[in-house]
Amino acid sequence: MSSETLLLASTPAGIGHAARLLRDGRLVAFATETVYGLGADATNGEAVAAIYAAKGRPSFNPLIVHVPDAAAARRHVQWSDAAEALAGAFWPGPMTLVLPLAHGHGISSLVTAGLQTLAVRVPAAPVARALLSEAGVPVAAPSANPSGRISPTTAAHVLAGLNGRIAAVLDDGPCPVGVESTILDPGPPARMLREGGVTAEDVARVLGSAPLPPETSTITAPGQLASHYAPRAHLRLNAAAPQPGETYLGFGPGPADLSLSESGDLAEAAATLFARLHDLDAMGVTRAAVAPVPDQGLGRAINDRLRRAAAPR
């Protein structure tokens, strides 16, 4: 339990080792194109319980199951025309679909926290897909950070939070998208449960209309609690300039201590967001001001994460 966490290279040997650990019921962090996930065999209740223990995550917060392709997903969930259209457009990629569990789904009830639906996704990162194919089991994986902390976009971030608490990290470099997957209930009507790497505009192009916001009466994505993605620093958002004593996290041209994207590029800002928040922690910053980020496309996922990072706790 408190033994060293192995750092595995994303070579065929490293991937094979990680796949064996997963099949043996051990915890392995691996890169997806969005963030690093903390994986366990989703059919093995003890392995899934170990995820909650390692993260300190409340067990009423369900997990996303990762599979290598849509055919694998269909073994666990009830498919629909909308699911087919969305999977066709966005898989592999940063899109999670929430669908009713299939009869004989085989997934541990700890994964779904007792819900009758399953969140499932096919990541695009080639190393992740190779790992999932080789493991041959559906892999439950929340972001590989202690609960309530910033999501990891490098293997070093994972080790900073979970070293000694998990069997291995499969290092595949920095995650290119940098914010978590979009979570969508395909409906009808389709509902956007979490903004993420696929934008609402992209979804609207496929479905013919914009997805609705989540129903407020139900617990849709319980991870969407106010204080999430929290750096130690207090954050002031939409700040045109820093006040004395504040570290300035910029977006676009102009003076800044750190920048999400000097050219004002939203994809670059998404890819660097969590690393810059980790940097604030590493620098010991207590107060930071963040430049405004346009609230469109990927900017909505970025602003969602920034609001949670700034929420009182």
Alpha helix (H) residue ranges in the chain: 12-23, 45-55, 70-73, 81-90, 109-112, 126-135, 155-162, 200-207, 266-282, 298-310
Q: Has 151 been labeled as part of a binding site?
A: yes
DSSP 143: B
247 contacts which partner out of Mg ion, ligand TXA, none, CB within 5 to 8 A by kind?
none
The entry of Mg ion, ligand TXA, none that residue 163 binds, CB within 5 to 8 Å by partner kind? none
CB under 5 to 8 A by kind: which of Mg ion, ligand TXA, none does 34 bind? ligand TXA
Task: State both tokens at 199.
Answer: 């934008």
Binding mask 132-151 toward Mg ion (x if CB under 5 A, else -) reads -----------x--------
To the nearest whole angstrom, how small is the minimum distance from the Cβ of residue 123 to ligand TXA?
6
Q: For Mg ion, give the closer residue by CB, 17 or 55.
A: 55
- Which parts of this chain interact with ligand TXA (CB under 6 A)? 32, 34-35, 37, 61-64, 96, 98, 112, 115, 117-119, 121, 141-143, 180-181, 183, 193, 220-224
- Regarding 181 and contact with Mg ion (CB under 5 A), the answer is no
Rule CB under 5 A: say whether 153 interacts with Mg ion. no
In terms of Cα–Cα distance, which of 152, 196, 191 is closest to 300?
196
Q: Closest separation between CB of residue 180 and ligand TXA, Å?
A: 4
The minimum distance between CB 149 and Mg ion, in angstroms, equals: 9
CB of residue 200 to ligand TXA, shortest distance in Å: 16
Distance between first and last Cα of the chain: 30
Q: Is 181 annotated as a binding residue?
A: yes
Beta bridge partners of 118: 99
Nearer to ligand TXA among residue 98 and residue 266 (C-beta): 98
| DSSP string covering 104-125 | T----HHHHTT-SEEEEE----
The rounded distance, in Å, linking the Cα atoms of 251 and 63 is 32
Q: Going by C-beta distance under 8 Å and a sequence separation of 6 or more, which residues neighbour residue 144?
A: 29, 35, 36, 37, 38, 151, 152, 158, 161, 162, 166, 169
Annotated binding site for ATP: 57, 61, 117, 143, 151, 194, 229
